[in-house]
Amino acid sequence: MGSHLVTLRPLRDPFESAADYRSRLKGRLLHQALYFARTVEDFKRPETLVKKAFYSLGAHMAGWDIEDTFIRPLMALSEIDEIETFFPQVGVVEVYREREFLVPTSDQGFHILRPDRVVVYEDRAIVVEFKTEEKGPTTYKKHERQVITYHNIVKKSFGLPVSSYLLYLQPPHVVRVSSE
């Protein structure tokens, strides 16, 4: 029964603390709110985005400081220069939100990569990865590697020049990631 050969389902860290779990859930909810955002205008009144995030994940709003935890960080995004490019109102060909990229593996299997947002324009594509945790030296390296992987896949898939970004929510700022 306990053999690793039998997979029941991917599990979270069994000894994760309640605080860690809540922090992870907060991250998921913010990602989901960003999933529903269409244009930069949505960040000026993000209450609806937050509601949709909670409703789509079946989470309860009770027990959260909605204003501090969700509304303010999302509103702050409208102040970022690049945000218009990530959430354009016009001129875009297609936007892929958490769309899956399939990557076959050597053992006849596959794995799935899911960039948070890929914005395709006529002449270029943009990869944006949202990060709800703070940027630290070790986490940044991890985030950078992740975005470079997405960058290469999007470049291969669309045959367009690609620029890739990490969008940090706390504090709100953008880091352009170079694939070189």
Tell me which residues touch another protein (CB under 8 A). Answer: 1-12, 14-15, 18, 21, 36, 48, 51-52, 54-56, 58-60, 62-63, 96, 99-104, 108-112, 153, 156-157
Nearest to 34 by CA among 17, 53, 20, 16: 53
Task: Output the smallest distance, CB 102 to another protein, in A.
Answer: 5
Residue linked to tokens 């303010």: 72
Residue linked to tokens 């949709």: 52
- 2 versus 137: smaller Cβ distance to another protein: 2
Sequence-ordered list of residues with C-beta below 8 angstroms from that of 27, at least 6 positions apart, any chain: 132, 133
Task: Output the smallest distance, CB 82 to another protein, in A.
Answer: 23
Nearest to 36 by CA among 85, 114, 95, 122: 95
- 48 versus 178: smaller Cβ distance to another protein: 48
Instruction: Specify the amino acid at residue 170.
Output: Q
Task: Output the smallest distance, CB 177 to another protein, in A.
Answer: 19
Task: Output the smallest distance, CB 43 to another protein, in A.
Answer: 16
| Alpha carbons 165 and 157: distance in angstroms, whole number | 18
- 68 versus 102: smaller Cβ distance to another protein: 102
- 24 versus 173: smaller Cβ distance to another protein: 24
| Alpha carbons 131 and 170: distance in angstroms, whole number | 8
